[in-house]
Structure 1
Amino acid sequence: MNPVTLRQVDPLRPKELHAGCPQVNVWRIEEKQTDINIAVHALMDAFNDPSPQHFVFVSNDTDLCPLLDALKKLEHIKTGVIAPVDGIYQHQATDLACRVDWAKKEIKAEELKAAQLALRIDSSVRTELKSSIRKPLEWFGAKELSGQIFETLFAAMEKRNKVYQWLEQQPVKNAIDGVPDLPSPAIDLLDDVDTAKLVLIHAQAYADYVSKNGKR
């Protein structure tokens, strides 16, 4: 990922590039030979192993078309493609779908949720990890509220680990007068907007408490 300077699109003339378009700095996300590596390894597996194989590609990149054409000529290879799109605002590339034995045109939100790892993976489980890793707050269903909750707590605690400890702890009953108790740890309530709003109320109340009584 590298910063580059590009011209901004003129909203009045979105399809016209002209000298008056202001220049802005943006992050350019570059692939590191991903397509080439996929193609090389797929073909090596196909030619080195004559037994029946089933290759599944999770991609919507038509750069894979030459690879799929080559695999289609091999009788012992079956191929499928899963498009990592929502099927509403983004759609599967037909050039990919017509070159494989089967195609899944979208990945639903509930499928992604069901396929996620645990909220936290400890280094004791994965020895190659230097420390525990946690599910990013951006991956929760109510991601905007999750961000507000994190910022509210971080302003009071100033440490990420303490924020996550607060989110993962068992809720305290009758913690705030006039506010419903959390039914489960806050981290479990961030996929739904209504329950995330309740967590935000608790987070704001805790932050207010810390500002008045000092850090705990």
Structure 2
Amino acid sequence: LIQVKFFTAEIKAKFASRGELAHQAQQAYHRALVQIYGDNLQIIKGYYSERQECAMTFNEGHPPSKTDRTTVWKLEEKQTDVRMALEMYRDAIRGEAEQLVLCTNDSDMIPPIEMIKADRPELKIGIVVPREQDTSRVISSLASLGDWSLPYVSYEALRLALLPDKVPTRRKPILKPNHW
């Protein structure tokens, strides 16, 4: 293992059900990951954009109506997918790995994987679908591009991957949030 690249975006507290607690929990999680994995981990962040948008109102048993609209908040993750695609392609082209393992079920990753396969056919690509065992629905066109794939992450693998409740640091330990 050369490095794990973790692509994410910071939670916007005003949209999270737990508000600022959610943001603080995410920050603690990121600090704990860095503390445990050090240089083997790189956290690469996109961001969320927010805007008000008019959307068609859902009415059970009725077809969509373009005239029955409501204003909603549209929260959209930005640059995370593009950063993932570019980092993956860059690592492949630089020859920095014998294998890339992508943990996603996002069809937006199909074009960069196809490009990597065309430009570096000898490079092995694995696809891990980040879903629980009983809820898995793999995008078959994505999984078929990999040299291997895991259609779900088992409960046992999830249990074994949990961080400890307390991560020691040189100062104050990082504590697992109570609501986790």
Please confirm whether the aligned pair reaches a TM-score higher than 0.5, indicating the same fold. yes
> Paired residue for 1:211?
none
> 2:71 & 2:174 partners in 1: Cα distance?
34
**Which deviations, in whole Å up to 9, do the C-alpha atoms of 1:27-46 show, x marking residues without a partner?**
61x22312221222222222
SS of 2:113's equivalent in the other structure is helix
Please state if 1:11 is matched with 2:11. no
Q: How many residues align?
A: 130
Residue 150 of structure 2 is matched in structure 1 by 104
Equivalents in 1 of 2:161, 2:81: separation in Å?
24
Which has a greater percent of strand? Answer: 2
Quote the sequence identity (%).
Answer: 23
Structure number with larger C-alpha Rg: 1
SS of the residue corresponding to residue 31 of structure 1 reads: strand
1:91 to 110, 119, 137: 137
3-state DSSP of counterpart to 1:88: helix
Answer yes or no: is 1:55 the counterpart of 2:100: yes
Distance, in Å, in 1 between the alignment partners of 2:74 and 2:173 is 29
User: Does the 8 Å contact 2:132/2:153 carry over to 1?
Assistant: yes
Matches of 1:113 and 1:102 in 2, distance apart? 23
**Could you list the runs of 5+ residues in structure 2 that have no partner in the other structure?**
1-47
Structure number with greater CO (CA < 8 Å, separation at least 6) is 2
Query: 2 CA distance for matches of 1:101 and 1:37?
Result: 22
Q: Which residue of 1 aligns with 2:127?
A: 81
CA contact (8 A) 2:133 2:155 kept: no
What letter corresponds to residue 40 of structure 1 in structure 2? Answer: L
Q: State whether residues 136 and 151 of structure 2, in contact with CA within 8 Å, keep that contact through their aligned partners in structure 1.
A: no
CA RMSD of aligned residues (A): 2.5
CA distance in 2, matches of 1:137, 1:58: 27
Q: Secondary structure at the match of 2:102?
A: strand
Deviation at 1:60, TM superposition (A): 0.5
Q: Does the Cα contact within 8 Å between 1:54 and 1:79 map onto a contact in 2?
A: yes
- Measured after TM superposition, the shift of residue 122 of structure 1 is 3.5
- Structure 1: any 5+ residue segments left out of the alignment? 140-216
More helix by share: 1
Match of 2:90 in 1: 44
Residues 100-152 of structure 1 show CA distances to partners (whole Å, capped at 9, x for unaligned) of 1001001123321210111122432xx7xxx543223444xxxxxxxxxxxxx
C-alpha separation in 2, matches of 1:6 and 1:133? 41
Per-residue CA deviation, residues 144-179 of structure 1 (Å, 9 max, x unaligned), is xxxxxxxxxxxxxxxxxxxxxxxxxxxxxxxxxxxx
Task: Quote how far apart the aligned CAs of 1:11 are.
Answer: 2.3
Q: Residue 176 of structure 2 aligns to which amino acid in structure 1?
A: K
CA 1:12–1:45 in structure 2 vs 1: closer, same or farther (change >3 Å)?
same
Q: Distance in 1 between matches of 2:65 and 2:154?
A: 37
Residue identity opposite 1:54 in structure 2: Q
